Structure 1
Amino acid sequence: MFDEPLMEDGEVLGVCPHDCPDTCSIVSTVETGRLKRVTGNPDHPVTQGHICRKYAAWPRRLYGPDRLTQPLRRFGPKGSGRYEPMGWDEALAEIGDKWQRILADSGPYAILPFFGSGTEGMVHGHIAPKRFFNRLGALQPVRTICTKAGREGYRATMGASGRHPPMRISETGLVIDWGVNTAATNVHQQIFLKQARAAGAKYVVINPVAITGTEQADLFLRPRPGTDAALALAVMHVIVKEGLIDRKFIDNHTLGFKEMSARLADYPPEKAARITGVPEADIVALACLYGETPHSFIYVGPGCQRHSNGGMTVRTIACLPGLTGAWRHPGGGLYFPTSTAFPGDFSALEGDDLRPNAPASYNMIRLADMLRGDGVQSLFVCNGNPASVLYNQNALRHELGREDLFTVVHERLLTDTARFADIVLPATTQFEQNDILFSYYFPSMALNHRAIAPVGEARSNLNLFRQLARVMGFSDAVFGESERDIVEHVLALAQPAIQGIDRSVLEASGWAPTGVDPVHEAFARHQYPTPSGRIEFLSETLAEMGKDPLPAYVPPKESPDGSPDLFERYPLQLITPSGHSIHNASYADKPGFKHDEKTPALYLNPDDARRRLIDDGRMVRVFNDRGSFVIWARVSPSVREGVAAAPGQWWDCHYPRGGCANVTTPDFPADMGGGSAFNSNLVQVEVYAGEERDGG
């Protein structure tokens, strides 16, 4: 494993490193030592030879003129992007000197790491950075930005993140995509959806914005953002009223049906119609279709939980399969995509035992708060771009602009965050390093074999942290471990799912399914990992936390019902769904790599545009009390009235006046897990009367 020399010509098996459910198996074609083509592995049961167009563009991105190939030192103002080359030895010595002085004067919490999901590789994305900063004694970032609220809400109902084999949905009679556009975020789900449709399954889309495939849906509901829980409560109201429940399943496998039924009585369809904006007849139609089709599958996307009420929203939706007994049927139930759905725990390899102090962490979405004041004197960023993806960007960038904040960024490109760095270090890509990754969609692990030598002076995370350990004087044996050593540690973990992996299959095929998943097995036996061992309509755990123990609807903090006075000033709900060309903030570097979206765009309903005298293609200003940005309008009936949608996390350089949608997003957390609430965001939109910036 990983012993083979690099090939001048040939094909190399790898895996996509992004935080995406598919975790595609990749075939990299190398010619004369250069990456020429990237395709999907035809022998993988999920990838099936197909990869998204984003990843297929890598050969051009890898050798593009914007690729960082040597360390850089800032000489202009922070944010200006003005840098000059420096050597690796000089860069490491300067970082080590500054960090040693900060440690001596202010302690380890004065050095703050930020790393996200830029790579999900166990070696380079998780273990290498966590080991180093544990040894340093620093605060560790808790990854709350994507699905934390929904994860906690799902756990309150079901006890753990569910494992739902994607291929089984072809056996169901009804598929519901709720707050998700899998054509952009989970492309291979489309294969299994088509199989289900071909077998006669009905298809329902619930989304404020039309998605790929909406035109083929049997039913399309467009609730106001953040009102999904009210819709779910009304659907359950009808199911109970019409006797469409599975009484035997409820009696044997759920807790709190009587108490929840009393709550449901408060949500008749006519009330939910007023809250959600979904016609009463459509709510009843959905309820009858779901109740009459117990072998049903719901895919709940992250979008509907990125609200101040996001945890309770997912908890409430997750009650639906328990009412109809959908979990009894092949392919039935509910799936919420989150990395905790993988049946493995790697924390033993992350270096808690290396710490000179007690383990401690911070919520990554509170980065601006952490940087406020003079407590944090140095920031290190890898695997992430906080100056693009975090909310309330004006507040964050004010702190990133501190001249007394020594900032180091390890990156492939000069991102919005890298422009605030004092030192930028060139990073490798997945094609230039070895790793092992897991899939939380199709329970499996995959090996990534490096295909080419690093471009220029780029170094991997593992290499970088080994060198940083040296300049910091850390002599612990773990900092001498190779990629292979760490992968062997991963595969040696005494856990059923990992021990069940067939090493010969893994090494020969590049991937292998995991072994027995105790949680999946428990779900299959209807022995749920909740305190009661049942699906909990009534949660004493939530009650002990001071939260409503029953599924509930609470208006989003910023919304027509949650803040009516604010709504009078800012009458549009801005959401930032995933785009087809950009994965989070990745692939936002060059328009030439994009197929679907060429520029940032704000989608407005024709009625909303007409009231504001906005024509399609016109530059508009989007604003609220937190900030404003300028963007091109796209007038389309694909978005419901009262909603504005800005897909993708575009970098500043693509907006006509700089800035980005996240200058307007709120900095309050969701109701559970400290998750993000990006979509609870009220704005106003007007025609922009200024000029486009030079080079915009």
Structure 2
Amino acid sequence: MSNETGSKIEFRPHSSHWGVFSAAIRDGELLVRPHPADPDPNDLLQNFPAALRHPARVAQPMVRRGWLERGPGPDSRRGRDEFVPMAWDAVLDLLGQELRRIRERYGPGGVFGGSYGWSSAGRFHHAQSQIHRFLNTAFGGYVASVNSYSSGAASVIVPYILGNYEELTKHNVTWEQVAAHSDVVLAFGGMALKNAMVAGGGISEHVERGAMQAARDRGCDFILVGPLRSDLPEEAGAEWIANIPGTDTALMLALVHTLVVAGLHDREFLDRYTVGWPNFERYLLGKADGQPKDADWAAPITGVSAETIRNLARRLHGRRVLVTVAHALQRAEHGEQPVWMGAVLAATLGQIGLPGGGYGYALGAIGYYGRRANAVPGPTLPQGRNRHGNFIPVARIADMLLNPGAEYRYNGQTRTYPEIRLVYWAGGNPFHHHQDLNRLRQAFARVDTLVVHELAWTATARHADIVLPATMTLEREDIGYSSHDPLMVAMHRIAEPYGEARDDYDIFAALARRLGSEEAFTEGRSSREWLRHLYARTEQALREQGCPAPDFEAFWAAGSLRLPQAPDDGGPWRAFREDPDANPLPTPSGRIEIFSETVAGFGDASCPGHPAWLPPEEVPGPGAPLHLVANQPATRLHSQLDFGDHSSAAKRRGREVAAMHPVDAAARGIADGDVIRLFNVRGACLATVRLTAGIRPGVVQLPTGAWYDPEDPQDDRPLCVHGNPNVLTRDAGTSALAQGCTGQLTVVEAERFAGNLPPIRAFEPPLTS
């Protein structure tokens, strides 16, 4: 390809979490094209061109004026103050001095190392690895976080009932099996393509749409249980059962009850492969509490007729059924229960371990679930050992900052929140991930210092004391690799860094030098030398397997390398089914635990010893009669590149779009395209409304990821004018077991906004002086 002057344009390989691609600069404009082998490319790639040189980028190091003038300490002006630009050496000296103060006075327990794993598909410039390696090697450790906002409840409960969480999601039922073997896919919460289009480390072939189409063409029935019709694509041709949000456990209980009383459950499977069925059956049949969990009981809870429930249960018997449960279901109060109950339903049908059958927890939630694993390891940066060892569940950061010294329950333990003096954040935006953002603002006001590496002025950067401009992935070299995608990518630099932006690695190396630990952090290597060093692990593994093993220079010149993959063998659950004694599951009993003595022994009423229907504390009522589903966005990954063209084009009047049923809109005098105000006791936000029959009445859906944009930052509960639903969501753990995120569901009221529309300033840099 040539530009207008006839000179050749060089497209160079690169990768992102939402797809492998190549890019080039022509006449100052970024051109992006997806990998030619991708059958279903992701349009999120089109966020890159406008984002590369957007005014929202952080151009130089900045220090908050109040912190610079008064020094470290709690300050309620975070997020409201102006910033002062500083030269790199000066700001690094200042930060190095503050890190030494914290280390000498409070030790590693005074620092929280915040990050999230979605910053870059490149495995070396992976911000989470970089910040943790820095704090481990140069600072002596830090208070860490465990689990994730996406799967906080599931990742804790699964080891007790099924075994290894990573194996369950990554080495179990594949899309190949669904296409070839599944007769019924019963999808609680659906399998939305917008989620499966994204995979940590990159993805070269999006196969989910094609697999569903192939399964349907073969005669597979897809059944979607959930309030949003769009949570399965048209290619699935799904039957839609629109239950009340958060009631999936009750519906599953009624399905199992129907199977049991009709004698349609696989008692042989339950006897041989599970433990605890008699305990659970007493609860199911009402012998424990006097209430059978039958279809008549479930109908008013779920909003699904008893006849529909009974008919569905009977249709499952004798067919190859795959039960899937979306991450979304466990991102709510008592989120452990639908994960556990989904496994019990699959066990009741006796399908676990069969090709295309059983339990596909979170299948479709992320692009590398449901795929074959690579047969060789990838190039991952060692993070070192955290000698401090203290941690919190990731979604409890505001609790920690607001309640130092307070006790809380987690995974059978009584733990104590540490007292954090400095928060160091790189590669994440808690003003996207976290709930009750007004509470989070109060929490960040409590610390001495908040340091942020960022490529753009997110709300997290605006609340920081020190903001260090970081490069975007297009501005650095790296290696893109996912454990379940066969293409490893040589990510060439496409553009020069914006302004004075630096790589996270270079920033941490300079700080490590100031702390006297440069050699421990860098091991004497430059970024390119690290890439060569990390690649050598994969090269050696390829050689040992007798596969083509080009050296680093050849790999870099070629732009990619196709890796061998492991067989699609069904993973531990296939082996367990074939011989449960020789291949026990890594659960306390070695079997599928329908009743867990361990969990029951913790004595936490919020998560009993078997799956149960536990009514939520927050339900629609006077003042907040609507459910709000705050799910993942379709036009960006979390809040990343919200200012990109693809994300911006999907908004209306510059604001995020909320979906509402026409019946609910008519009752409130709301028309399609109106700006509405969503509100509850925690806060309020504006959004533009789209009316659709593809949502259950009584439910509003507003995706996360619109950058938090308070109309008046001086207000304690300002109106977010841009449409961030996390001003509305509740900051509470799923249960005392997992303390996971409950941000998927809340309750709200909606009204037409009749005032003068406030301007959107989310992408404008803050005031400087």
Return the TM-score normalized by structure 2. 0.78
Query: Partner residue of 1:222?
Result: 242
8 Å Cα contact 1:493/1:499 also seen in 2: no
Q: Distance in 2 between matches of 1:81 and 1:310?
A: 38
Query: Partner residue of 1:52?
Result: 42
Q: Distance in 1 between matches of 2:646 and 2:214?
A: 34
8 Å Cα contact 1:116/1:143 also seen in 2: no
Q: Which amino acid aligns with 2:225?
A: I
Which of 154, 169, 192 matches 1:182?
192
> Could you say what secondary structure the match of 1:148 adopts?
coil
Matched, 1:334 2:324: no
Q: Distance in 1 between matches of 2:259 and 2:543?
A: 41
Which of 256, 278, 283 matches 1:258?
278
Q: Distance in 2 between matches of 1:335 and 1:139?
A: 33
Query: Partner residue of 1:244?
Result: 264
8 Å Cα contact 1:669/1:676 also seen in 2: yes
Q: Distance in 2 between matches of 1:498 and 1:650?
A: 46
Matched, 1:543 2:600: yes
User: What is the CA-CA distance between 1:518 and the residue it aligns to?
Assistant: 10
Matched, 1:197 2:230: no
> Could you say what secondary structure the match of 1:271 adopts?
helix
Q: Distance in 2 between matches of 1:542 and 1:13?
A: 48
Query: Partner residue of 2:174?
Result: 165
User: What is the CA-CA distance between 1:488 and the residue it aligns to?
Assistant: 4.5
User: What is the CA-CA distance between 1:347 and the residue it aligns to?
Assistant: 10
> Could you say what secondary structure the match of 1:394 adopts?
helix
Query: Partner residue of 1:138?
Result: 142
8 Å Cα contact 1:73/1:423 also seen in 2: yes
User: What is the CA-CA distance between 1:540 and the residue it aligns to?
Assistant: 2.1
Q: Distance in 1 between matches of 2:738 and 2:568?
A: 25
8 Å Cα contact 2:704/2:726 also seen in 1: no
Which of 622, 625, 628 matches 2:678?
622
8 Å Cα contact 1:143/1:363 also seen in 2: yes
Query: Partner residue of 1:30?
Result: 24
User: What is the CA-CA distance between 1:227 and the residue it aligns to?
Assistant: 0.9
Q: Which amino acid aligns with 1:192?
A: A
Q: Distance in 2 between matches of 1:125 and 1:8?
A: 34
Per-residue Cα deviation, 1:345-379 (whole angstroms, up to 9, x for no partner): 99993211xx5x53122233222233337943332
Query: Partner residue of 1:573?
Result: 627
Q: Distance in 2 between matches of 1:160 and 1:109?
A: 30
User: What is the CA-CA distance between 1:272 and the residue it aligns to?
Assistant: 1.0
> Could you say what secondary structure the match of 1:622 adopts?
strand
8 Å Cα contact 1:436/1:445 also seen in 2: no
Q: Distance in 1 between matches of 2:541 and 2:596?
A: 29
Q: Distance in 2 between matches of 1:243 and 1:214?
A: 34
8 Å Cα contact 1:326/1:333 also seen in 2: yes
User: What is the CA-CA distance between 1:502 and the residue it aligns to?
Assistant: 5.3
Which of 649, 656, 668 matches 1:612?
668
Q: 1:695 to 1:64 in 2, by over 3 A?
A: closer
Per-residue Cα deviation, 1:397-441 (whole angstroms, up to 9, x for no partner): 133346x7322211111111111122222222223334455546x
Q: Which amino acid aligns with 1:555?
A: P
Which of 714, 717, 726 matches 1:662?
726
> Could you say what secondary structure the match of 2:14 adopts?
strand
The residue correspondences of 1:501-580 to structure 2 (distance < 5 A) are 504=549, 507=555, 509-515=560-566, 520-521=571-572, 523-526=574-577, 527=583, 528-546=585-603, 547-559=607-619, 567-580=621-634
Q: Which amino acid aligns with 1:210?
A: R
> Could you say what secondary structure the match of 1:261 adopts?
helix
Q: 1:244 to 1:443 in 2, by over 3 A?
A: farther
Query: Partner residue of 2:313?
Result: 287
Q: Which amino acid aligns with 2:347?
A: G
8 Å Cα contact 1:392/1:665 also seen in 2: yes
Q: Distance in 2 between matches of 1:501 and 1:239?
A: 51
Query: Partner residue of 1:298?
Result: 323
Q: 1:288 to 1:376 in 2, by over 3 A?
A: same
Q: 1:252 to 1:651 in 2, by over 3 A?
A: same
Q: Which amino acid aligns with 2:239?
A: L
Query: Structure 2 regions of 5+ residues with no counterpart?
Result: 1-6, 67-76, 198-205, 286-291, 405-418, 578-582, 711-718, 762-769
8 Å Cα contact 1:28/1:35 also seen in 2: no
> Could you say what secondary structure the match of 1:141 adopts?
strand
8 Å Cα contact 1:491/1:499 also seen in 2: no
> Could you say what secondary structure the match of 2:622 adopts?
helix
The residue correspondences of 1:24-173 to structure 2 (distance < 5 A) are 24=19, 26-31=20-25, 36-43=30-37, 48-75=38-65, 78-80=78-80, 82-119=82-119, 121-123=122-124, 124-135=126-137, 136=139, 137-161=141-165, 162=168, 163=171, 164-171=173-180, 172-173=182-183
User: What is the CA-CA distance between 1:476 and the residue it aligns to?
Assistant: 4.3
Q: 1:347 to 1:244 in 2, by over 3 A?
A: farther
The residue correspondences of 1:479-490 to structure 2 (distance < 5 A) are 479-480=522-523, 481-483=525-527, 485=530, 488=533
Q: Distance in 2 between matches of 1:251 and 1:202?
A: 29
User: What is the CA-CA distance between 1:279 and the residue it aligns to?
Assistant: 1.8
> Could you say what secondary structure the match of 2:516 adopts?
coil
Q: 1:488 to 1:518 in 2, by over 3 A?
A: farther
Q: Which amino acid aligns with 2:226?
A: N
8 Å Cα contact 1:500/1:515 also seen in 2: no
> Could you say what secondary structure the match of 2:700 adopts?
strand
User: What is the CA-CA distance between 1:49 and the residue it aligns to?
Assistant: 4.5
Q: 1:297 to 1:592 in 2, by over 3 A?
A: closer
8 Å Cα contact 1:114/1:379 also seen in 2: yes
Per-residue Cα deviation, 1:494-546 (whole angstroms, up to 9, x for no partner): 99999879573895643425558999245444343222222222222222222
Q: 1:473 to 1:255 in 2, by over 3 A?
A: same
Q: Tell me which moved more, 500-509 or 581-590.
A: 500-509
> Could you say what secondary structure the match of 2:21 adopts?
strand
8 Å Cα contact 1:519/1:529 also seen in 2: no
8 Å Cα contact 2:352/2:573 also seen in 1: no
Q: 1:605 to 1:593 in 2, by over 3 A?
A: closer
Per-residue Cα deviation, 1:296-354 (whole angstroms, up to 9, x for no partner): 223321111111111121111122222223234322232234889789899993211xx
8 Å Cα contact 1:583/1:648 also seen in 2: no
Q: Distance in 1 between matches of 2:626 and 2:445?
A: 31
8 Å Cα contact 2:661/2:695 also seen in 1: yes
8 Å Cα contact 1:306/1:677 also seen in 2: yes
Per-residue Cα deviation, 1:171-217 (whole angstroms, up to 9, x for no partner): 11122332134221113322211111122111111111221556664
Q: Which amino acid aligns with 1:668?
A: A
Query: Partner residue of 1:3?
Result: none
Q: Distance in 1 between matches of 2:546 and 2:195?
A: 27
Query: Partner residue of 2:338?
Result: 313
> Could you say what secondary structure the match of 1:387 adopts?
helix
Q: Which amino acid aligns with 1:227?
A: T
Q: Which amino acid aligns with 2:229?
A: A
8 Å Cα contact 1:408/1:421 also seen in 2: yes
8 Å Cα contact 2:685/2:725 also seen in 1: yes
Query: Partner residue of 1:276?
Result: 302
Query: Partner residue of 1:4?
Result: none
Query: Structure 1 regions of 5+ residues with no counterpart?
Result: 1-6, 18-22, 561-566
Identity %, equivalent residues: 27
Return the TM-score normalized by structure 1. 0.86
Q: Distance in 1 between matches of 2:246 and 2:532?
A: 41
Q: Which amino acid aligns with 1:450?
A: H
Query: Partner residue of 1:449?
Result: 491
Q: 1:540 to 1:102 in 2, by over 3 A?
A: same
Q: Distance in 2 between matches of 1:665 and 1:257?
A: 36
Matched, 1:422 2:447: no
8 Å Cα contact 2:111/2:420 also seen in 1: yes
Q: 1:198 to 1:81 in 2, by over 3 A?
A: farther
User: What is the CA-CA distance between 1:234 and the residue it aligns to?
Assistant: 1.0
Count of aligned residue pairs for this structure pair: 668
8 Å Cα contact 1:179/1:207 also seen in 2: yes
